Structure 1
């Protein structure tokens, strides 16, 4: 049996995104951008995933993060409420 490692990693990415989407209160608790980058759950995304965050510094209450692996993305936007989006970029 052949294993498609890229497909497996895309599935891993989507499953992690779904876990966060199902229970954001367990994952999205940051006081600073630095806290985001220290989050242990980032390591649960497949190797090769990239992420970036902005906000929360200098007393800001808004936060935005994007996590990507290949053409899949997962974004988190926190202001008055939490908005989570995930999907696949058009190629």
Structure 2
């Protein structure tokens, strides 16, 4: 059985104005379209920015997946266990 990859339009607050990645479609393996991590060099903020759905997060420029996972764990925002294997396409 092949994996279905959906495309999503991220939260408009995920990028700084003028960013070339703003409005870009991101491939996701999660059919529920939850817990998306958005890493971009345009992010000038110093703290993670929780987006409008409450589970997608825009990370400060320079952050890495390990830092994001640590932050999610400390703040109770990890994906439910049934979604964790689907997170290989997190951006």
Question: TM-score band, normalised by the shorter chain?
Answer: under 0.3
Structure with more of its chain in helix, by fraction: 1
TM-score, normalised via structure 1 length: 0.26
Larger RCO (CA within 8 A; separation ≥ 6): 2
Structure with more of its chain in strand, by fraction: 1
Higher radius of gyration, 1 or 2: 1
